[in-house]
Amino acid sequence: MTQEELVRRDKLAALGALVAGVAHELNTPIGNALTMASSMSERTAALRHDLESGLRKSVLEAYLAQAASADEVVLRNLNRAAALVDSFKRIAVDGGGSQRSRFMLGDVVAQLMQSVQAEVRGRELELIEDVEHWLEMDSYPGPLTQALHHLIENSLVHGFDSRSRNHGSITLSAHDSGNGEVAITLSDTGVGIPEENLPRIYDPFFTTRMGSGGSGLGLYITHNIVTGVLGGRIDAASTPGRGASFMLRLPKTAPR
């Protein structure tokens, strides 16, 4: 009972942090859009007043220029808010909303590799695959693909960022552990993860690239998928300057 209570408290604490993060992340784009919409409302009222007293061409041209600028700001911020909401929706991914099937792991990996190959090559990186193709699983291929894709994106964004050399490699390997589990490892030769950051990498909204377009939700979503939907566990290891690796241990038959 004590253990269950501690788990419940941890879940509530995580939920509180997530809700606070959602509010904070959405506040900026929505606030910017509201400010600009309010400003244009006032300018429209002023234009209507000028129209009644005789509208000059220069005033109308100034208003149209302001309106075009306001449209750009509002659309940019609302698109940012929409992208954040989409990320939040992915947090709640669960097995009930995903299609379960029997599949060969090699087929899922091959499709994933094909989808990211162009981006990896564009960064002058090598993508290495070492997978037992005929490894059969009874699980959720969609969430599994999503989790692996997040890990590759994490390597591209953080392991080989603009401050580091691009030449290097990302390796995806998968083998039968022999105990009803599959061991999948995603490793890179990038800059690595500072030791002090390792305990926090799965926290929602934790990111070392604030303001660079990331929401800090990729590894949080990955952790939820691996431990929740797929019924496995995930561990990270890193040596700063020599890369990072993530090991997933997944049951061949996911829990129902």
Please state which of the ranges 132-136, 149-153, 203-207 shows the lowest mean pLDDT: 203-207
CATH number for the domain that contains residue 10 = 1.10.287
- Is residue 22 situated within a structural domain? yes
Tokens 């590759």 found at = 152
- Is residue 216 situated within a structural domain? yes
d(Cα 34, Cα 41) in Å, to the nearest integer? 10
Please state which of the ranges 13-22, 114-123, 241-250 shows the lowest mean pLDDT: 13-22
Highest mean pLDDT pick, 54-58, 70-74, 243-247: 243-247
Enclosing domain of residue 230: 100-251
When comparing pLDDT for 12 and 86, which is higher? 86
- The residue out of 36, 65, 91 marking a domain boundary is 91
Query: Do residue 107 and residue 87 come from a single domain?
Result: no
CATH number for the domain that contains residue 247 = 3.30.565.10
Query: Do residue 147 and residue 218 come from a single domain?
Result: yes
Please write the tens of the pLDDT for every residue from 61-116: 888 898 998 898 899 888 888 877 776 665 555 444 578 899 999 999 999 999 89
| Backbone phi, psi, residue 204, to 5° | -65, 135
Query: Do residue 173 and residue 84 come from a single domain?
Result: no
Query: Do residue 199 and residue 111 come from a single domain?
Result: yes
Give the residue from 143, 113, 151 showing the smallest Cα distance to 129: 113
Please write the tens of the pLDDT for every residue from 187-244: 999 888 888 888 888 877 666 555 444 556 778 888 888 988 899 999 999 988 889 9
- The residue out of 54, 70, 91 marking a domain boundary is 91
Name 176's bridge partners: 182
d(Cα 112, Cα 153) in Å, to the nearest integer? 12
Buried residues in 164-194 as b, exposed as e (16+ CB within 10 A): eeeebbbbbbbeeeeeeebbbbbbbbbbbbe
- The residue out of 41, 74, 91 marking a domain boundary is 91
Q: Is 98 left (phi over 0), alpha (psi -120 to 50) or beta?
A: beta
Query: Do residue 19 and residue 142 come from a single domain?
Result: no
- Helix 141-154 crosses helix 105-122 at what angle (to 10 degrees)? 30
- Is residue 136 situated within a structural domain? yes
- Is residue 256 situated within a structural domain? no
Query: Do residue 79 and residue 111 come from a single domain?
Result: no
d(Cα 106, Cα 108) in Å, to the nearest integer? 6
Query: Do residue 79 and residue 206 come from a single domain?
Result: no
Sheet holding 233-238, edge to edge: 125-131, 168-176, 181-188, 244-251, 233-238
Query: Do residue 241 and residue 167 come from a single domain?
Result: yes
Tokens 């030791």 found at = 195
What is the rounded average pLDDT for all residues in the chain? 82
| Domain count along the chain | 2
Give the residue from 115, 132, 116, 231 showing the smallest Cα distance to 184: 132
- Which are the contacts of 220, defined by CB distance < 8 A and separation ≥ 6? 91, 202, 203, 204, 205, 206
DSSP symbol at 252? S
Query: Do residue 244 and residue 126 come from a single domain?
Result: yes
- Which are the contacts of 83, defined by CB distance < 8 A and separation ≥ 6? 215
The answer to whether 188 touches 169, Cβ cutoff 8 Å, is yes
